[in-house]
Amino acid sequence: MKRNRALILILYVCVVSAAWGQQSAAKAAGVNNWSEFHRTNMERWNPNETTLGVHNVGGLALKWSYSTGEQVYYSSPAVATGVVYVGSEDFNVFGLNASTGAKLWSYYTGSDVYSSPAVANGVVYVGSLGGNVYGLKATTGDLLWSYATGGDVASSPAVVDGVVYVGSDNGYVYALNAKTGALVWSYETGYVSSSPAVVNGVVYIGSVGGNVYALNASTGALMWSFPTGAAVESSPAIAKGVVYIGSQDFNLFALNASTGALLWSFLTGAAVQSSPAVANGVVYVGSNDNNLYALNAKTGALLWSYLTGAPVESSPALANGVVYVGSNNNNVYALNAKTGALLWSYSTGGPVQSSPAVANGIVYVGSDDSNIYAFGLN
């Protein structure tokens, strides 16, 4: 009997140890990172965030800010393994300590950086308006490779299965080998500032020519395209077989991811440059009509809207029941994702067109006042 109890105790200890090991491995793998513009689920949603939520986000306070010297325009922070990566109009890409904001390194590109960095396997991938896509060593910022597209790269890279996908205003979408920067394929779409989403072997992206494209991720072959009524600078979010994307024709569109067929559209009062976020059956997107909208993901029915008082070009981020977004009225907002009620806001010194990243209890966002900000609980 004692022997049986001892065996049971040993088994219990083994199970607990294994569970703890799995949790530690998950943390080590960075499951709470925000490693690229869309986040790797392509929905701009962090399901692993548990520190910040509806009941305590009102207690957010400034932890640190770092001045880049010029506007942090559309570049949005990426957060991985304790480092924040972001681009600036001072021509640099920065690596900052996520806890303190201390500068770890910077890389000079020679041109404005509107692109949002993507981090994968120890490499930072980012574009610049000088026309290049860069692969930088994540720990030091050292250049590993660069690829010249011949046009401004405001698009933010997506990295999937060893391939970097990105658009350029020279009219092409590119697939590059993530280790070497070698061209895998390119596809001509017309001017691209939208950022690609890659799901189930398909690359989805918009073009200023007014189309949404679905391309085979391995070959670049066109699978389908959908014409909107104006330029598409918004970047797609993909959830449960649906592509959500905005257009300057004032609409947010929901398209069948396999066929491109229109499922529904929602008309706002101005251009939709903001990229949508999708979580728990709701789509969140900003409009230049000064509102953030929450829509039923299946039907497009309006659930709520929040008026900021200025265009919302920033793309919302979701985490633990809270939606975070910036506005051109200089503010960053935290809203109740179910109701749209204001939970917290912070006024920066310039428009906030950069989009927030939420990881490990911290909200990171850039502002046109040249600063990157980090907010956390006291």
pLDDT for 224-233, tens place per residue? Answer: 999 999 999 9
pLDDT(273) > 80: yes
pLDDT score for 73? 86
Instruction: Give a yes or no: residue 211 inside a domain.
Output: yes
Range of the domain at 38: 31-377
- Is 348 inside any structural domain? yes
Q: Is residue 282 part of a domain?
A: yes
Q: Is 159 contained in some domain?
A: yes
> 137-154 burial string, b = 16+ CB within 10 Å, else e?
ebeebeebbebebebbbb
- What is residue 32's predicted lDDT score, i.e. its pLDDT? 83
Q: How confident is the model at residue 31 (pLDDT cuts 50, 70, 90)?
A: low
pLDDT of residue 316: 98
Whether pLDDT at 26 is above 70: no
How many domains would you assign to the chain? 1
CATH number at residue 300: 2.130.10.10
Whether pLDDT at 363 is above 50 = yes
19 in a structural domain: no
3-state percent helix, strand, coil for the chain, nearest multiple of 5: 10, 45, 50
Write the CB contacts of 204 (distance below 8 Å, at least 6 apart in sequence): 196, 197, 198, 212, 213, 214, 215, 236, 238, 243, 245, 257
Mean pLDDT of all residues in the chain? Answer: 92
- pLDDT digits over 121-170, tens only? 999 999 999 999 999 999 999 999 999 999 999 999 999 999 999 999 99
pLDDT at 54 over 60: yes
Instruction: Indicate whether 5 belongs to any domain.
Output: no
pLDDT digits (tens, 9 = 90+) for 194-248: 999 999 999 999 999 999 999 999 999 999 999 999 999 999 999 999 999 999 9
Determine the average pLDDT of the residues in 173-191: 97
Encoding tokens for residue 264? 């529904």
Residue 24: pLDDT above 90? no
CB 296 within 8 A of CB 277: no
Global pTM reads 0.91
Evaluate if residue 270 carries a pLDDT over 80: yes
pLDDT tens track for 72-82? 989 999 999 99
For the residues of 232-248, what is the DSSP string, one character each?
--S--EEETTEEEEE-T
pLDDT of residue 23: 37
Q: Is residue 219 part of a domain?
A: yes
DSSP 54-82: TTTGGGEEEEEEEE-SS---S---EEETT
pLDDT of 11 reads 38
Q: What is the pLDDT of residues 85-102, one digit of tens each?
A: 999 999 999 999 999 999
Element (H, E) at 357: strand 357-359
In the predicted structure, residue 20 carries a pLDDT above the cut 80: no
The whole-number pLDDT of residue 378 equals 87
Percentage of the chain exceeding pLDDT 70: 92
Give the percent of the chain with pLDDT over 90.
90
The answer to whether residues 338 and 376 touch, using CB atoms and an 8 Å cutoff, is no
Is 223 a member of any domain?
yes
pLDDT tens for 299-326 read 999 999 999 999 999 999 999 999 999 9
